[in-house]
Amino acid sequence: MEPEQPSPDTEHESLPEETHLPSPTLYPIGFAIGIVVLLVGLIINPLLISSIGAAIAIVFAILWAREATAELRGEPVVVEPERRESRATAADPHGVTLEEVPDNAVTRSVFLEGATLGLGAAIGGLITLPVAGFAVLPGFLGQTQHKVDLGPIEKFPLGKWFISTFIVDPAEGEVSRRTVFLRNNGNVADPETKQQVPSFTIISNRCVHLGCPVQANGPIGQKYTGTASFKEHTLNGPVEFQSVIPAGYGCPCHGGQYDPEGNRIAGPPVRALDRYDFEINHGRLVLLSTYSVSKVVGTGGQAQIYKYKDVGPGEHVDGPEQFFYPINPPHH
């Protein structure tokens, strides 16, 4: 290697080492002792001992400050050079003995490099994995189904539509308020058991385009429908039932239109409106979870519906587009 022009950096490094060493000083210790005496004095004798402590602290603070600013004030700085034992000998001027190492040897540095990387990765993984899991998993696991009590079924006149709003999860509050369009279809023969069972049409107002709230197109309230609106106090709090004669449902966001059974008749929605499963518990109507519907054939209790698993708005449940959504997140 040729001797080069000294670059600025090497010039910097080659300064005598002592200029970089802070000169050892005892003044901070004296200052600290002064503060300790002052604090102890506050307990023992605030007037005398604390004053002595304060005086010590001030004197040492001044000495310390004078010494620290010596360079700034242009006074010569006295520093002790660093001393270090030299291992250099005549045969080995750098004090380092070099040994021949085979190429494939695991030297200490190779081992330490691997150990550092491996341990770092292990620690990083141990921290990252649970945290990432906590960020993602709660939204997918433990999603609980909430049953919604809508009151006794005799309250619902046969064949009349109502708009009902209720809170799904009282613990979560107003943000879980949902709306359904609901009609009592009377007793209908169960296709499997041939027994007469109560039938309700319960349509979710969540638009299956992108999730806006669809509105009933038609007169609302007793004055226009001839059917009384009413309120029920249930386990889920107060539930309102407004009578309505829907000619269909319309979405305010992007103009999707549905017929009274929830079939899409115009606009961007991709299927019929979702419906709620229900059960009759001690004569009361209880809503369960929703299911998705592609198309409703027939009306009321005679309607034929194929229940699809509940999926998000905009997702096709049948036709070739269903293959775009092969696996849906876990649902309640």
Partner 1 sequence: MATTYRRKPTKAEIRRQKMEELVMFPIDWLEERSGLIGGLKYFLFRNVPSDINWMQTLGSAALTAFLVQAITGVILAMYYVPSADINPRTGKPIAWESIVNITDHLTLGWLVRGMHRWGASVFIILMFLHMGRVFLFGAYKYPRELNWIIGVLILVNGMMEGFTGYLLPWDQTAYWATVVGINLNGTAPFLGPWLAQFLRGGQEISGETLTRFYSLHMLLIPGLIIGLITLHLYLVVRLGVTSPPWSKEAAGGEPEEEDGARLRPGLTRPVPRPSGASAMQAEPGGQE
Interacting residues with partner 1 (CB under 8 A):
1-4, 6, 8-16, 72, 136, 138-140, 143, 172-176, 210-213, 253, 311-315, 324-326, 328-329, 331-332
Which residue, 47 or 324, has its beta carbon nearer to partner 1?
Answer: 324
> Whole-number minimum distance, CB 45 to partner 1, in Å?
41
What is the spatial distance between Cα 121 and Cα 231, in angstroms, rounded to a whole number? 61
Q: Which is nearer to partner 1, 40 or 132 (CB)?
A: 132
Contact at 8 Å (CB) between 184 and 210?
no
Mapped onto helix, strand or coil, the DSSP state of residue 200 is: strand
Between 78 and 135, name the residue whose CB sits nearer to partner 1.
135
Q: How far is the CB of 314 from partner 1 (least distance, A)?
A: 4
CB 263, min distance to partner 1, A? 20
Contact status, residue 152 vs residue 284, Cβ threshold 8 Å: yes
The residue count for the chain: 332
Nearer to partner 1, 233 or 331 (CB): 331
In terms of CB distance, is 60 or 249 closer to partner 1? Answer: 249
Q: Which of 52, 47, 26, 27 lies closest to 37 in space, CA to CA? A: 52
φ, ψ dihedrals at 111, nearest 5° = -60, -45
- Give φ, ψ of 159 to 5 degrees: 75, 10
> Nearest approach, Cβ of 115 to partner 1 (angstroms)?
29
- At 243 the three-state DSSP class reads strand
C-alpha–C-alpha distance, residues 162 and 183, integer Å = 6
**Residue recorded with tokens 């000495």:** 63
Closest CB 88 distance from partner 1, rounded Å: 14
Report the 10 Å Cβ neighbour count for 124. 10
Task: Give SS3 for 318.
Answer: coil
* CB 91, min distance to partner 1, A: 18
Residue 3 or residue 102: which is nearer to partner 1 going by CB? 3
Place of tokens 């310390």: 64
Inter-residue contact 4 to 28 (CB < 8 Å): no
Smallest gap, in angstroms, from Cβ of residue 8 to partner 1? 4
Query: For residues 25 and 45, which CB has a smaller minimum distance to partner 1 in the complex?
Result: 25
